[in-house]
């Protein structure tokens, strides 16, 4: 799936993080939802402005950029969690 033109970075929108074009839905949010068990159809149902090609492009973008969901990491050893276990960030690209 070619994500170019569908996944965009817009300064001032969602902190400039990659989003699905035409929405304010960031790629990291879709990855987090998928990691929690949401299916493509769940995402489309839960986010009315989202479209199927956008979901697939988000996953292709994430794969191409090595993005991972941090929710599976051990909070004690993860530098992206504070001392209380609260997440500082959800996803990252190298």
Domain ranges across the chain? 7-68
Q: How far is CA 61 from CA 10, 40, 43, 76, in A?
A: 15, 15, 17, 29
For 7-68, the fitting CATH number among 3.90.120.10, 3.40.50.300, 1.10.10.10, 3.60.21.10 is: 1.10.10.10
pLDDT digits (tens, 9 = 90+) for 62-74: 989 888 776 544 4
Where does the pLDDT of residue 81 fall: very low under 50, low under 70, confident under 90, or very high at 90 and above? very low
Q: Is the pLDDT of residue 79 over 50?
A: no
Q: Is the pLDDT of residue 53 over 50?
A: yes
Cα angle for residues 45, 41, 2 (degrees, 5° grid):
110
């Amino acid at each position: 799936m070619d994500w170019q033109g569908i996944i965009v970075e817009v300064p001032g929108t969602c902190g400039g993080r990659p989003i699905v074009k035409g929405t304010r839905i960031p790629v990291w949010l879709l990855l987090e939802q998928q990691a929690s068990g949401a299916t493509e159809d769940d995402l489309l149902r839960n986010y009315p402005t989202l479209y199927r090609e956008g979901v697939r492009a988000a996953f292709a973008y994430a794969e191409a950029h090595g993005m991972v969901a941090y929710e599976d990491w051990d909070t004690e050893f993860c530098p992206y969690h504070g001392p209380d276990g609260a997440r500082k960030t959800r996803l990252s690209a190298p």
